[in-house]
């Protein structure tokens, strides 16, 4: 699905669960048959030539002890909550397997930055902050209405967008049961729209592999 450089060397690869078996076979072809050990994050594949691949368990997937079990668990349908937030927009949804079965997007105007200085700049900054707070308040209400009733059916909550905005939304005390399901993964998404929410489903289900 994609690759990016990793801090400290190596690269992160995002792989669709259905392609993990083929990816592991290719890794073995290039570097030799790897040994597999269970780690807190998932599985570590260590090849004879020194190459390693860390298979990180996707959100909502139970721990496994080997690659076939990892693939089967990653491919299995599960319900995931989705919360994408930025200052002026929020998208919430529930995915059943690869399908988005519940969705809602809300956009609220937030004042853009101004080049004016002095008092005018301060006034616009305060107005912008107030608008952003109101937008995130609306986002919390949306999460309460759509996600909270589903919390008992969700394997995990996957968030995306601006970390501070997401944490502001989840700071609402009513959403404590939802916050407890939050996965460590934060999706890098643009301003939430319905198409962005749809694209977040495979991103939330993807297997992240760190290759060194």
pLDDT given at position 112: 52
Residue keyed to tokens 């700049």: 121
- Picking from 76, 99, 122, the residue at the C-terminal end of a domain is 76
pLDDT (tens place) for every residue of the chain, 212 residues total: 667 898 888 999 999 999 999 999 999 999 999 999 999 999 999 999 999 999 999 999 999 999 999 999 999 999 999 999 987 789 999 999 999 999 999 876 344 554 455 545 555 445 545 445 545 667 889 999 999 999 999 999 999 999 999 999 999 999 999 999 999 999 999 999 999 999 999 999 999 999 99
Residue 131 pLDDT: 47
> What CATH number does residue 198 fall under?
3.30.420.60
* pLDDT at residue 120, rounded to an integer: 55
End residue of a domain, out of 32, 53, 76: 76
pTM: 0.85
Query: Is 99 contained in some domain?
Result: yes
- Is 180 part of a structural domain of the chain? yes
Q: Give me the number of domains the chain comprises.
A: 2
Per-residue confidence (pLDDT) for residue 2, from 0 to 100: 66
104 and 46 co-located in one domain = no
One domain for residues 83 and 187 = yes
Domain with 50 in it: 2-76
* φ/ψ of residue 20, rounded to 5: -65, -40
- For the chain, the C-alpha Rg in angstroms (whole number) is 20
Let me know if residue 92 belongs to a domain.
yes
Same domain for 135 and 198?
A: yes
Residues β-bridged to residue 104:
92
Is residue 212 in a domain?
Answer: no
Q: Are 205 and 96 in contact (CB under 8 A)?
A: no
Residue where a domain terminates, one of 76, 106, 138: 76
User: How far apart are alpha carbons 114 and 128 in whole angstroms?
Assistant: 10
């Amino acid at each position: 699905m994609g690759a990016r450089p990793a801090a400290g060397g190596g690269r992160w690869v995002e792989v669709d669960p259905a392609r993990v078996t083929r990816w592991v076979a290719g890794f073995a072809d290039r570097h030799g048959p790897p040994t597999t050990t269970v780690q807190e994050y998932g599985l570590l594949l260590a090849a004879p030539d020194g190459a390693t691949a860390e298979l990180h368990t996707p959100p909502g997937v139970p721990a496994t002890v080997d690659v076939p079990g990892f693939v089967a668990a990653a491919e299995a349908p599960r319900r995931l909550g989705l919360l994408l937030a930025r200052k002026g927009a929020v998208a919430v949804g529930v995915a059943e397997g690869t399908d988005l079965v519940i969705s809602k997007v809300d956009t609220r105007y937030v004042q853009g930055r101004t080049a004016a200085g002095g008092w005018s700049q301060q006034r616009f900054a305060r107005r912008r902050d107030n608008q952003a707070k109101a937008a995130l308040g609306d986002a919390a209400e949306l999460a309460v209405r759509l996600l909270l009733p589903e919390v008992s059916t969700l394997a995990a909550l996957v968030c995306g967008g601006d970390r501070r905005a997401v944490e502001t939304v989840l700071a609402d005390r009513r959403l404590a049961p939802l916050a407890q399901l939050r996965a460590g993964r934060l999706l890098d998404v643009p301003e939430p729209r319905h198409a962005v929410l749809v694209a977040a489903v495979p991103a939330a289900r993807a297997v992240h592999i760190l290759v060194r």
